[in-house]
C-alpha cells in the first residue's frame, strides 16, 4: 500500500464546484471556523500492532494561535461503537496528549474530542487502526450466490434495449459532447438515466462507467468532465428512473417519499432477495454495460468501473458480476459487511442495525448476504484500486479494509488517514492516472 497526503496540485474550473461539495459534508475542521484542531498519533501512519498502546498529541488553534489552558473532553471506543471510557485534559500552551489505549483484535479505535469556548462547543475526532490488514468479513457467502446472480442476469438480458439520447449543451464544450440517456433496464417500462460524455476528436476510447452515490438527489457530470477531456468515454448513472436534471426541491419531495429511514429504497423489499429494490439497481449497472459496449467510439478492450461510497460499492459489484469490466477503482465503498453489527463491530453503510428499525430478522439477514459487496469482491479477477480515510463515519475504515482484504486480484490502495467521507481533487486525478496504467 502507498501512503499519500491530500494536497491540491491541479487547479481547474472544477475546483470551485468540488470544494463547495466537499465542505458541505461533515468535516473535522469546517471551513470559515475560528477553531482549528490538529491531532497527531505517535505512529505516523496511524497504525499499531495488536496490544500496542497508542496516544495522540492534540493542538488547538484559535485564529491560528495556540489556545492555552482550555479543557478538552475526550471519549474513546471502537469504530462506530459506544464509548468505553471518558476523560479530560487541559491544554498546556495549546498542546495535550490523549491516551487511546489498545486493541486485542484487528480494528479501529475512535477518539472523540470536544471543548467549550465562549459559549460554543467545538468537536473533532480521530481514528487509529490496529492491524486492520487482518480484518475479515462477518458476512457469509451463500452456496448458491453465483447461480442466483447468473439466473438474474440471464432473465434481465431478455429485456429489449431501448435508449433515448438527447444532446446536453450545458456540459459540452470544444473538447467533449455530453448526452442525457434514458435506458430501459431489467423489465419493460423500467428505465434509468445517465449522462454520457464523449471526446469530440476522432478515435476509439476506453470506457469508464460510474454509478452514483447514495440518496435521491439531482446529479450532473460536471465534476468528472475531465475524463472525457483526457480521452475517456464516461457514463455517470442514476439508479431510480428519475430525471437527474429535475430541480432540488422536486428531488427533496421525492426523497421524503421513499428515501428516508424505513421508507428508504435501501430497505425496500429486504425480506425477499428476489424482490429487494437493490436487485434492480445491480442489474441496471449491467444493462449500462450492455449499452456501452455497443458504442462505435469504444476501443473494444477497456471498460472500467469507478465510483465512491454507494457508487464505489456498485463499481465493485459490477466488476464482480460482469467479465467485460477490465478494472475497477472504488473509494470508501458502502454496502460492505453490513451485518457486522451483529457481533458488535462496525458495519457498512447504510448502518441498517443502528439507523433503521426491525432489520434484525432471518429473512433480511439472508437477503443481505446476496447483496453485500464483500461477496462480490470474492468474484473479482481484474485489477482494483481503492482509496479511503480513517476518520470516515459514513463508510467506516473497518469495512473498507475488509473489502480490500477480501479482493484476491491485483490491487493497490491509497490510504488517506485524515479523510472523512470525501476525496480531494488530487485523488480524483490519481484515480484516473491509475486507470490509465490498466489500459490494454
Q: Identify the three-state secondary structure at position 193.
A: strand
What is the maximum alpha-carbon separation in the chain?
70
Give 3-state DSSP helix, strand, coil % of the chain, rounded to 5: 30, 30, 40
Q: Which residues of 83-100 are buried (b: 16+ CB within 10 A; e: fewer)?
A: eeeeeebebeebbbebeb
Q: For the chain, how big is the Rg over CA atoms in Å? A: 22
In the set 264, 284, 309, 336, the catalytic residue is 309
CA distance 375 to 393: 22
CB 130 within 8 Å of CB 102 = yes
Nearest to 138 by CA among 427, 322, 402, 386: 402
C-alpha cell at 354: 443502528
In the set 351, 400, 421, 424, the catalytic residue is 421
CA distance 357 to 340: 16
In the set 322, 392, 400, 424, the catalytic residue is 392
Active site annotation includes 275: no
Active site annotation includes 309: yes
Apex CA 365: angle with CA 313 and CA 337, to 5°? 35
Active site annotation includes 421: yes
Report, as residue numbers or ranges, the catalytic residues.
309, 392, 421
Amino acid at each position: 500500500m502507498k501512503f499519500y497526503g491530500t494536497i491540491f496540485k491541479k487547479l481547474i474550473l472544477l475546483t470551485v464546484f468540488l470544494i463547495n461539495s466537499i465542505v458541505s459534508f461533515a468535516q473535522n475542521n469546517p471551513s470559515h471556523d475560528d477553531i482549528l484542531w490538529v491531532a497527531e498519533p505517535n505512529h505516523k501512519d496511524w497504525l499499531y500492532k495488536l496490544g500496542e498502546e497508542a496516544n495522540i498529541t492534540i493542538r488547538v488553534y484559535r485564529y491560528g494561535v495556540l489556545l492555552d489552558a482550555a479543557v478538552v473532553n475526550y471519549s474513546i471506543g471502537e469504530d462506530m461503537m459506544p464509548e468505553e471510557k471518558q476523560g479530560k485534559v487541559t491544554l498546556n500552551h495549546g498542546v495535550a496528549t490523549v491516551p487511546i489505549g489498545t486493541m486485542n483484535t484487528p480494528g479501529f479505535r475512535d477518539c472523540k474530542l470536544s471543548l467549550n469556548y465562549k459559549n460554543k462547543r467545538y468537536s473533532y475526532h480521530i481514528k487509529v487502526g490496529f492491524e486492520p490488514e487482518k480484518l475479515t468479513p462477518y458476512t457469509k457467502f451463500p452456496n448458491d450466490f453465483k447461480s442466483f446472480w447468473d439466473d438474474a442476469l440471464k432473465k434481465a438480458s431478455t429485456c429489449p434495449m431501448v435508449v433515448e439520447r438527447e444532446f446536453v449543451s450545458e456540459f459540452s464544450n470544444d473538447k467533449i459532447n455530453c448526452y442525457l440517456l434514458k435506458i430501459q433496464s431489467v423489465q419493460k417500462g423500467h428505465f434509468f438515466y445517465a449522462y454520457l460524455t464523449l471526446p469530440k476528436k476522432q478515435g476509439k476510447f476506453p470506457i469508464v462507467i460510474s454509478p452514483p452515490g447514495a440518496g435521491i438527489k439531482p446529479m450532473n457530470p460536471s465534476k468528472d468532465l475531465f475524463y472525457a477531456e483526457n480521452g475517456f468515454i464516461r457514463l455517470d448513472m442514476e439508479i431510480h428512473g428519475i430525471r437527474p436534471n429535475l430541480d432540488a426541491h422536486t428531488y427533496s419531495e421525492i426523497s421524503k417519499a421513499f428515501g428516508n429511514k424505513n421508507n428508504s429504497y435501501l430497505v425496500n423489499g429486504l425480506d425477499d432477495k428476489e424482490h429487494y429494490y437493490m436487485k434492480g439497481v445491480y442489474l441496471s449497472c449491467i444493462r449500462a454495460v450492455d449499452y456501452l459496449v455497443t458504442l462505435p467510439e469504444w476501443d473494444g478492450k477497456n471498460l472500467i468501473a469507478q465510483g465512491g461510497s454507494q457508487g464505489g460499492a456498485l463499481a465493485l459489484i459490477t466488476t464482480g458480476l460482469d467479465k467485460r469490466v477490465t478494472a475497477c477503482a472504488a473509494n470508501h465503498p458502502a454496502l460492505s459487511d453490513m451485518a457486522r453489527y451483529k457481533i458488535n463491530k462496525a458495519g457498512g453503510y447504510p448502518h441498517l442495525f443502528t439507523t433503521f428499525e426491525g432489520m434484525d430478522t432471518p429473512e433480511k439477514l439472508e437477503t443481505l448476504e446476496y447483496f453485500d459487496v464483500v461477496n462480490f469482491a470474492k468474484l473479482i479477477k481484474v485489477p482494483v484500486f481503492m482509496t479511503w480515510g480513517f476518520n470516515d463515519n459514513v463508510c467506516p475504515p473497518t469495512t473498507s479494509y475488509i473489502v480490500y482484504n477480501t479482493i484476491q486480484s491485483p490491487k493497490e490502495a491509497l490510504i488517506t488517514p485524515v479523510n472523512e467521507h470525501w476525496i480531494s481533487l488530487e485523488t480524483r486525478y490519481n484515480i484516473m492516472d491509475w486507470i490509465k496504467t490498466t489500459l490494454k
